[in-house]
Chains A and B, each alone.
Chain A
Amino acid sequence: MTTPGHTGDGIPERPPVTERRLHPVTPFRRAWAPLAVLAGWAVHDPNGAQEQLTRLTGTMLLLGVAVLVPAAGLYGFLSWWFTHYAVTDTELRIRTGLLFRRTAHIRLERIQAVDVSRPLLARVAGVAKLRIDVVGTDDKDELAFLGEREARALRAELLARAAGFAPEAAREVGEAPARALLRVPPRELARSLVLTGATWGSLCAALVVPTVLWLATGNLWTVVASVVPLLGTAGASSVGRFVTEFDWTVSESPDGLRIDHGLLDRTHETVPPGRVQTVRIVEPLLWRGRGWVRVELDVAGSENSVLVPVAPRAVAEEVVARVLPGVTVPRELSPVPRRARWCVPVWWRGHRLAVTGTVFAARSGLLCRRLSLVPHAKVQSVRLTQGPWERRWGLADVHVDTGADKTVTARLRDAQDAARLLTEQAERSRTGRRSALPDRWMTTDMTTD
């Protein structure tokens, strides 16, 4: 949540806040932008670029460089100079902007996740990006770049303060010890990607479409124009995913869940306890023989959605039990009535539902099964919908809305069951909250009702 920079909240005595600046390497992060623009122009219009180059004289070139470089340097320096951040007892404040001032105050107890990411070039320079996910933050609210050690210390401090440690103690608490829950071996990851339909689908498309186009038009440029994006998609879904999901490690610490991954760009994400809104267990058709599953999770305000890229089912369920305390993945799912086949012809078999004391679990999909789990404490509202054709067959859908803007739907339930489910789910959603952790998870006296 960001608030515009009002001067003073009416509280006269505030402890002085020490403001810090980002790492001095920051001004160079946009240094490639003018070069990229020039390169893009040269590629787009090669003849024009050559013409312009021949016309350029030595003095013109020197003059251009003499103006551009200091101007870019000055802009970079000033934007770095005017960016400050500070950690107070309750907030992270980011003050930035040369012409348009912008002040963001991010409330620490509302933290949904903290990401430290190190892109390849930043790793070479020994710096890292720190990003705090709060509902409503955008890309501007990340701290890029910080020294690597500083980023870690800041993450530990932010988490300690968010957890409810006293301000003096928060700095000394340091990094909470982490215990590895799961590590995905590269071989298993590679095999799982080979067994993914999307990889083969995009590869086939990349081969078939250009061939057909070549036979149909005989125009080389059409083929090139089609093959480049198709190969890009194929690469992103195979090699790209391998590089991103390489060395995927999930560990547990008192600060919450740690997810570290990446071959070139390393990402370290921390999700504090009680922030996970929904968990999905995805079971593609080709993985079922090996008993593998992928686990996805939704945290409000965070874009990362993968928890485990691939793991045997039993291991994945163990991780889920850690992420959602007290939750066991239900084994027995009740099928929908047989008459549902008149509403959804073949896929009706895929829809199943189970409600336990802690979660609402709905499964859908026939080839690629998705089991979505929502803890009752995370349910924001419950809806029942029924169309005319469904009413003809005495069926209804129950939707459960969560805070991560995800809706889990139990489709094609018997109408009377659905009506009962609606009232019961509302009741469970209300009572489920009582057992939930407080926002400041290290304090035990602040239990919410």
Chain B
Amino acid sequence: METGSVTGSPEGAGAPAEQPVWRGLEPGLLRVRRLLLVVWTGVLAVAAGLLPGLFAGPAWAACALLPPAVAAWCWRLLERNWRSWRYTERADDLLISRGVLWREETVVPYGRMQLVEVTSGPLERRFGLATVQLHTAAAATDATVPGLDPAEAERLRDRLTELGEARSAGL
């Protein structure tokens, strides 16, 4: 499977439960996000160039350079953020880690899962991506894994459901 950054034990799927295998997100997600960035930068650059250019004088059209400059910085940020997302299925819980500046790690014991949701919007589908979201009885639980391969998302969903049933605990 083509994943972004697989660290941990090199044996892959056959690793024992004690050595969790970290899985990253699909590179497709990064492509989607960068595509969106480029599209919005284009729109903003046109707006930032046209409006001051028309109303304040042609020299002000140089404002159009501002959005691309910011976008170039965001281009790198997106990659760092994408690289920071990873998850691992441990023996009894799912561990999701994400964020560069604002780091967040979430642990959800399988027994507490109320619902596993797989969603895929039109743009995500076009790039072959799906999002898995876990819900527990606590609304604050923010356990979402975006940018998964649809097959992997389904595998994860089935596995989580199966483990959740085996260890079901509820409220």
- Chain A residues in the interface with B (C-beta under 8 A): 112, 135, 275, 277, 300, 378-388, 391, 399, 401-403, 405, 407, 419, 422-423, 425-427, 429-430, 433, 439, 448-449
Contact = CB atoms under 8 A, between A and B. Distances in A.
Main secondary structure of the interface of B (DSSP, over half): loop
Interface of B: 92-93, 101-109, 111-112, 136-143, 167-171
Contact of A135 (B102, B108, B137): B137
B143 A405 contact: no
A372 to B, nearest CB: 14
Given A383-B107, A426-B109, A430-B93, A449 B102 contact: no
B89 to A, nearest CB: 13
Contacts of A379: 112
A405 B171 contact: no
A422 B105 contact: yes
Given A381-B107, A384-B105, 6 more contacts: A135-B137, A384-B104, A386-B102, A402-B138, A403-B137, A429-B109
B169 A381 contact: no
The 6 A-B pairs at the shortest CB distance, nearest first, are namely: A401-B138, A403-B137, A380-B138, A426-B107, A381-B141, A380-B136
30 contacts: A135-B171, A275-B171, A277-B171, A300-B171, A380-B141, A381-B107, A381-B108, A381-B138, A381-B140, A382-B107, A383-B105, A383-B142, A384-B104, A384-B105, A385-B102, A385-B103, A385-B105, A387-B101, A401-B138, A401-B140, A403-B138, A405-B138, A405-B139, A407-B138, A423-B107, A429-B109, A429-B112, A430-B93, A430-B111, A449-B169
A448 B169 contact: yes
Nearest to A448: B169
Contacts of A277: 171
A383 B101 CA distance: 16
Nearest to A396: B103
Task: Give the interface centre of B107, B142, B170 by most chain A CB atoms within 10 Å.
Answer: B107
Contacts of A429: 109, 112
Contacts of A382: 106-107
A380 B107 CA distance: 9
A449 B167 contact: yes
A135 B137 CA distance: 9
A233 to B, nearest CB: 29
